[in-house]
Homo-oligomer: A and B are copies of this chain.
Amino acid sequence: MALKDAQVGTRNEAGIATVIGSLKQSYGERFQTGEAFRAQHAHTTTYIPSQVPDGVFFPEKSDEVKAVVSLCAQHRVPLIPFGTGSSLEGQVNAPYGGISIDFQKMRRVLEVNSEDLDCTVEPGITREELNVYLRDTGLFFPIDPGANASIGGMTSTRASGTNAVRYGTMKDNVLAVTAVTANGEEVRTARRARKSSAGYDMTRLFVGAEGTLGVLTSITLRLHGIPQMIGGGVCSFPTIRQACDAVIMTIQLGIPVARIELLDALQMKCCNAYSGLSYEETPTLFLEFHGSEETVALQSAQFSEIAAECGGGTFHWTVNAEERTKLWKARHDAYWASRALAPQLAALSTDVCVPISQLSDCITQTQEDIAEHGLLAMIVGHAGDGNFHVLLLFDDKSTEAIQQAEAFVERLNNRALGMDGTCTGEHGIGQGKMAFMAQELGGTVDLMRQVKRALDPMNIFNPGKIFHL
């Protein structure tokens, strides 16, 4: 299904040729059409085949973005924004060709307002770079999707990750964006006030739009104080159910955990093998607490009681940074530990999100599915959000294995939707999840199409993503 979706469409050869000619003339080395550049900008990390753009443009300022949007609008040529290329559902593919806009030369921090806990950055900066920049201010930007993604990309896929349970997702942490719209003009969606009731929430419309409504040129982010103290801990549980019960109680009691991650038994086995650890090979929760010395101790004690009540093992925790890194090593290395299990295989990371009351059932049924179909897959969950990932190891050279993987993803999504969940908690729709989103949201997708047609009447912004028009 994903494959088919990715291939619909036609190319506007004449327009593309004109735009290429013009960009070559105007920007010299900052516009590249070489094979290697193009391939690099359509890299997908799944079975979705790469669809390369016709050229890659590296703007240095928003005026250049305005110029390229106007040019592409005039000639009806697709524009695909590109951050670091870490998206997982084919978001940077160019199914109808066109120009990839790579933001690596637009990665400045434009403004930091420490008193207001906000900053404004260009889209190309990565979250790690931003946090290095902020270090001396006592503030940090908490959203951590795993990859060192760009802020523009994270905004566009409505990213979240391990500590969304405490700090929210990009939806909650973007105060405003500036975007170049279809007429080549730049708009700013909001001021810096922490809240506003002024008209439609256009900020939230751009967050998660995957570049289909305009090209972001700056993002104003909410920042948070670096916690005085960070506590980390680990606790094993006999079953997924018991681990999930502990998560639900933690959330219900309003304990402000910063991270609460669930690794399943197979994942723990991989971690032990890869990192030379000796954890029990049963479902395990990894926690992090942020706060003052007192509140971190308090939260840890509260969780310890909850874990005991739910039948968990000893809750090991520490506020010592080195020991914390050690305790969390299994979680940090989870991806590479899984890959090491079968280095010859490709890895597909897919995600769904369900109401937390359903998390245990959804994971357990997914494990049964994996076993029943003889697949090799492990589960890591942002349990506090009801969001989990399956990392499926498969032979991407084998059509049969790809079909099996696709069938598994379909069953996984149907299962999540059947539990009033969503087909993606944080990866986005891209090309890979269009059919599931249609199933999930029905008539709401028609509203999205109407919005898209209104704001991008020529369908130049990342066409062929989220839905087909």
Contacts and interface: CB of A to CB of B under 8 A. Distances in A.
A122 interface: no
Interface string A201-219: 1101101110001000000
B181 A424 contact: no
A252 interface: yes
Given A199-B437, A224-B254, A298-B294, A451 B448 contact: no
Give the one of A157, A196, A295, A436 with max B CB within 10 A: A196
Given A185-B443, A444-B202, A417 B197 contact: no
Contacts of A197: 157-160, 208, 422, 424-429
A191 interface: yes
State which size class the interface on A falls in: 35 or more
A138 B443 CA distance: 35
A386 interface: yes
Contacts of A36: none
A373 interface: no
A199 B448 contact: yes
Contacts of A403: none
B422 A198 contact: yes
B205 A441 contact: no
Interface stretch (A72-80, A306-314, A350-358): A350-358
Interface stretch (A43-51, A109-117, A128-136): A109-117
Contact of A199 (B113, B225, B417, B441): B441
Considering the complex of A and B, which 8 residue pairs feature the smallest CB-CB distances, nearest first? A454-B454, A204-B204, A115-B357, A196-B422, A187-B443, A193-B353, A116-B355, A450-B454
